[in-house]
Structure 1
Amino acid sequence: MTGPPPAVAAVRVAVRAGLRRARLPPGALVLVACSGGADSLALAAAAAFVAPRSGLRAGLVTVDHGLQDGAAARAAGVARWAGGAGLHPAEAVAVTVAGPGGPEAAARTARYAALAAAASRHGAAAVLLGHTRDDQAETVLLALARGGGPRGLAGMPECRRYGGVLLLRPLLGLPRATAARACAELALSPWRDPHNADPAYARSRVRAGALPALVAALGEGVVANLARTAALAAADNAALDDLAAAALESAADGPALRVEVLAGLPAAVRTRVLRAWARAAGAPGGALAQRHLAALDALVTDWRGQGPLHLPGALAARRTAGLLTVTPRDAGPAAGPG
């Protein structure tokens, strides 16, 4: 008895391993986020095969961003294919793309919100995303270019929660070419998103120019090495985050932080404490930039009687009487020297 073609087998093995690591309850529903592109289409086909053989159920959600002619018809076609492939539920969801950060960020925000809502609506235990090793390498390069630091170098996590929903990326260890070959071996016709070749988008420029140039200069292994860098950075970040969580508890004085405790921490731990503290106070994570953290750190390590520091979320941080405090921006400071 012959097995499946090599690329189909590789994708199925990756999906099976990802579902096993997630330890989902028997009979749980997983939803595949599928654009109709090669990566997510190969993922959906593999999930349709693997999930029932793993004691799980698989469905599909495709998001219509409304950004291109024919987007609604494309999404409806993906949902129809999914129903025929044994994925239930299979639905297309339309979203409105608007908000800060440019069209890429706004589309991503709308898409993830729609996926989280669909998972909640159908009682899904997890949503599967089709990002591959090449996507991870691109993410690392973009993080390097933007000075993202260790957290940016960690790239996309294989598993994380978003809006209470578990997101899984089982294909992060596979090349994009493997997903494309799997589609060909299954006689599937992926949709080619024109945005992926649009030089207006930074990721498209990395995909079409920067990463191929690195491969040409440094060899084929550069993609795998960039992805490996992300995995190593993620492991280091997890350890530092654990240390920071313990340090935050030690430094806490009610909602404030004790400067003397912060000052004795390694910089890598202290900045994580300050980030977690600011976010808990209401500073939006997406708007909390490195310059904010550097200014907060200066209240601890370079105190010269600075005035209040403005943080995202209309907050003000101050050093007062040996404590860091954060209040709404129009609130006055507490009395006492720094």
Structure 2
Amino acid sequence: MPSSVPSPVPSPVPSPVPAARPRQRLNPTLGKARGLLRDALRDAGIQPGGDAPPVLLVACSGGPDSLALAETASFFNRRGDYRVGAAVVDHGLQPGSADVAQAAAAKLAAMGLEPVTVHRVHVPETGMGPEAAARSVRYEALDEAADASGAAAVLLGHTLDDQAEQVLLGLARGSGTRSLAGMPERRGRYLRPFLGLRRAEVEEICTAREVDPWHDPTNADPAYARSRVRTTVLPFLERELGPGIAEALYRSSRILAQDADYLEAQAAETYARLRQESAGAAAPDEILLSEESLRALPPSLRQRVLALAAVELGGAQPSWERVRAVEALLRREGSAGPVQLVGKVSAYRQVRGKPVPQGDPSYGNLVFRKKSSA
């Protein structure tokens, strides 16, 4: 039993030393997120620190993914590794969107991000659909914000689940390698460091850091194909085929991205070697490609080379069906063309002895021609 007699105390009495506060344990998912962001910046060659730390701009909607990304980036802002700001884009497509944007901006400012700007944009009615139109004006606003702040990188909060949905949508459209590769981890100054993070993990980060995100109601609206993939298709596949479908689709996208990068580099090199122009024109309105050389190429390269010719003349990326129609000219069966491509570009097989405009007879070539607007 403890004695009630006090122990002798030396004189003078020293000042009491406060007990050390236990260090708060870092949430493992937040630690993982910081590592992903650090790696993405390193791979992009954006080095931390220095007299003028690089500026990073977080693209934020107020949703869980972008707020989790902002919270993750704020750590590097506090350390002085980078200067981190944010841009909130208000598409004005939903009632109360301005309030949502201002609330997101306030949360970002509370994290210490600077500058935080809100951009109200107008989404035009075009033939590309509302999602594509909104994406187009969103990136225009982000480009302007990045230019104004001198940002070395714009950070996007897309997750592994977003990538899996993108791959499934590409499969449904019958897309090629590039489309099935999904969203790139890096495109110019745009970085997606969270492609290796699940949606549940970004929500966990928001909970751990007591950040209250906004949940976009269109994400559950069955009117949108992406929403149906998110709420119905992927859960169905998980139930019927077992867990891990999203991760498997993500792995496939990474493998296909590497393949697409290689094939596109090879196609660009081959196209530069085969490409000829009609003589006498200041700007090429006709491009010639040797039939013999094209036949010698594997289909994956040949089809990309044909598409490059159409794009160089100002046409859109041709569909697989249109490229196959151009390929059929190489078999020298039936018509010599022309095959019409998007953007007033056509392709035809040069017949024997017939000169091309401003040029000599060029039998043995496929000719891509841009129709004059005059």
- TM more than 0.5: yes
Identify which range, 37-46 or 19-28, moves more after superposition.
19-28
| Alpha-carbon separation, structure 1, partners of 2:230 and 2:105 | 28
Contact 2:56/2:151, CA 8 A, preserved across alignment? yes
CA distance 1:252–1:83, shift in 2 (3 Å) = same
| Alpha-carbon separation, structure 1, partners of 2:253 and 2:269 | 24
Q: Which of 143, 146, 167 is the equivalent residue of 2:170?
A: 143
Residue 91 of structure 1: SS of its match in structure 2?
Answer: strand
Residues 108-165 of structure 1: per-residue CA shift (max 9 Å, x gap): 111112112221222211111111111111111111111012122111110113xxxx
CA distance 1:37–1:331, shift in 2 (3 Å) = closer
Amino acid in structure 2 at the alignment position of 1:251: L
| Alpha-carbon separation, structure 2, partners of 1:306 and 1:104 | 40
| Alpha-carbon separation, structure 1, partners of 2:78 and 2:45 | 15
Q: Which of 285, 295, 302 is the equivalent residue of 1:263?
A: 295
Is 1:11 equivalent to 2:33 in the alignment? yes
Is 1:198 equivalent to 2:221 in the alignment? yes
Q: Which of 303, 308, 311 is the equivalent residue of 2:338?
A: 308
- Give the deviation of 1:316 after TM superposition: 2.2
| Alpha-carbon separation, structure 2, partners of 1:274 and 1:176 | 39
| Alpha-carbon separation, structure 1, partners of 2:307 and 2:113 | 41
- Give the deviation of 1:292 after TM superposition: 2.2
Q: What stretches of structure 1 move > 4 A for 4+ residues in a row?
A: none
CA distance 1:294–1:331, shift in 2 (3 Å) = farther
Contact 2:310/2:345, CA 8 A, preserved across alignment? no
Is 1:324 equivalent to 2:354 in the alignment? no
2:327 corresponds to which residue? 297
Query: Structure 2, unaligned stretches of length 5 or more?
Result: 1-22, 278-286, 351-362
Amino acid in structure 2 at the alignment position of 1:300: L
| Alpha-carbon separation, structure 1, partners of 2:332 and 2:69 | 51
Residue 327 of structure 1: SS of its match in structure 2?
Answer: strand
Residue 127 of structure 1: SS of its match in structure 2?
Answer: strand
Contact 2:274/2:290, CA 8 A, preserved across alignment? yes
1:100 corresponds to which residue? 127
CA distance 1:218–1:257, shift in 2 (3 Å) = same
| Alpha-carbon separation, structure 2, partners of 1:173 and 1:9 | 13
- Give the deviation of 1:301 after TM superposition: 4.1
Amino acid in structure 2 at the alignment position of 1:109: S
Query: Structure 1, unaligned stretches of length 5 or more?
Result: 333-338
Number of paired residues?
326
Contact 1:16/1:54, CA 8 A, preserved across alignment? no
Amino acid in structure 1 at the alignment position of 2:59: A
Identify which range, 276-285 or 101-110, moves more after superposition.
276-285
1:236 corresponds to which residue? 259
Contact 1:7/1:185, CA 8 A, preserved across alignment? no
1:87 corresponds to which residue? 113
| Alpha-carbon separation, structure 1, partners of 2:268 and 2:310 | 13
Contact 2:65/2:159, CA 8 A, preserved across alignment? yes
Residue 134 of structure 1: SS of its match in structure 2?
Answer: helix
CA distance 1:54–1:22, shift in 2 (3 Å) = farther
Contact 1:310/1:329, CA 8 A, preserved across alignment? no
Residues 276-308 of structure 1: per-residue CA shift (max 9 Å, x gap): 2221211134xx322222222223345533322
| Alpha-carbon separation, structure 2, partners of 1:10 and 1:58 | 19
Q: Which of 10, 15, 21 is the equivalent residue of 2:43?
A: 21
Contact 2:340/2:347, CA 8 A, preserved across alignment? yes
Larger Rg, first or second structure (1 or 2): 2
Q: What percent of counterpart residues are identical?
A: 44
1:171 corresponds to which residue? 194
Amino acid in structure 2 at the alignment position of 1:313: G
Question: TM-score when scaled to structure 1?
Answer: 0.91
Contact 2:313/2:370, CA 8 A, preserved across alignment? no
